[in-house]
Amino acid sequence: MENLIWLSRTEPPVRISEMQLVLFETPEISNIPSEREAAALASEAAARGMAFTVHLPGSIELGNPDARIRAASVDLFQRVVGLTRALEPICWTLHIPSPAREDAESYIDRAEYTLAPLLGEFASPRELAIENIYPVFDVESRIAEDLDTSVCIDAGHLICFGQDVWSFMDRWMARCRNIHLHGCRGRSDHQSLALLPKGFLAEFLSRAALAPDLRVITMEVFGTQDFESSIEALREHLNYPE
């Protein structure tokens, strides 16, 4: 059974091979699947030849100075990983919320101390990918190297912050399992790939092809219009197969 999405009645379908599950939980709302829902997703994905990445909730704060918040974060981390293990994700992606600059050292120590035993949830610490979400990748990079996790390179964030995408890729591709790709409109991220600089896609994919452990590039856009125009951008610049 093919996993196809039609962009319009006249367009040929686009085959989707990987889907990112962006999970969240707040006091008001949660989209974390039940065991039954996760099993159904795994069965459907197997039938369609699909793979998953799982984006852990952004409310996980493993370095928070409040012990109660850290404990709740550990519980949420373990619960989500346990529920989604049946999906056999390419990786689980984690944000490390940045501390106040003056508290960086103690924050890193707390985050590493809290995260280290949680890596026992995985067959390898490289199954956990720490994503760059701020203009400076310092707290996250130290944790990734100290605990030997993967890095999720979010190229869209790099573009939005005016960073050098190519030097960042050169530095971290050896540790990268998953890349997030999206365009930016000013500082507004997760926009269409059509907004990427001219020639960017070809250069980006040629560099990504050299990554030793890269498993998937995720087109991280969240609206139908951005998805459709992103597919068109891929077709136009890369002769993307229809």
- pLDDT tens-digit map of 164-176: 999 999 999 999 9
Taking the C-alpha atoms of residue 242 and residue 232, their distance in angstroms, rounded to an integer, is 10
Average pLDDT value over all residues in the chain? 87
Element (H, E) at 140: helix 139-147
- Residue 119 structure tokens: 């890596």
Is residue 47 classed exposed, middle or buried when 0-12, 13-18 and 19+ CB atoms within 10 A define those classes? exposed
Of 6-15, 17-26, 129-138, the one with minimum mean pLDDT is: 6-15
- Higher pLDDT among residues 221 and 8, named by residue: 221
DSSP state at residue 10: S
Of 33-47, 124-138, 227-241, the one with minimum mean pLDDT is: 227-241
pLDDT at 225: 86
pLDDT at 101: 59
- Residue 70, C-beta contacts closer than 8 angstroms, at least 6 positions apart: 61, 62, 63, 64, 110, 114
- Residue 107, C-beta contacts closer than 8 angstroms, at least 6 positions apart: 63, 65, 99, 139
- Quick one: average pLDDT of 65-83? 96
Query: Given a cut of 80, is residue 126 above it in pLDDT?
Result: yes
Taking the C-alpha atoms of residue 93 and residue 54, their distance in angstroms, rounded to an integer, is 6
Residue type, 93: T
pLDDT at 238: 59
- Residue 179, C-beta contacts closer than 8 angstroms, at least 6 positions apart: 152, 153, 154, 155, 208, 214, 216, 217, 218
Given a contact cutoff of 8 angstroms between Cβ atoms, the answer to whether 218 and 183 are in contact is: no
User: What is the bridge-based pairing of β-strands 183-185 and 188-191?
Assistant: antiparallel
Confidence bin at 210 (pLDDT 50/70/90): confident
What angle in degrees, to the nearest 10, is found between the helix axes of 35-48 and 67-84? 40
- Residue 122 structure tokens: 């995985």
Query: Given a cut of 70, is residue 232 above it in pLDDT?
Result: yes
pLDDT at 74: 98
Of 92-101, 128-137, 149-158, 195-204, the one with minimum mean pLDDT is: 92-101
* Fold (CATH) for 4-238: TIM Barrel (3.20.20)
Taking the C-alpha atoms of residue 201 and residue 208, their distance in angstroms, rounded to an integer, is 10
pLDDT at 178: 93
- How much is the CA Rg of the chain, to the nearest whole Å? 18
- Quick one: average pLDDT of 180-188? 85
Q: What pTM was computed for the model?
A: 0.88
Domain limits of the chain? Answer: 4-238
Of 7-16, 59-68, 76-85, 145-154, the one with minimum mean pLDDT is: 7-16
Show the beta-strand stretches assigned E in 63-149. 92-94, 128-131
Taking the C-alpha atoms of residue 206 and residue 204, their distance in angstroms, rounded to an integer, is 6
Residue type, 141: S
- Residue 29 structure tokens: 């709302």
Residue type, 32: I
pLDDT at 100: 65
Q: Is the dihedral of CA 48, 93, 38, 219 positive or negative?
A: negative
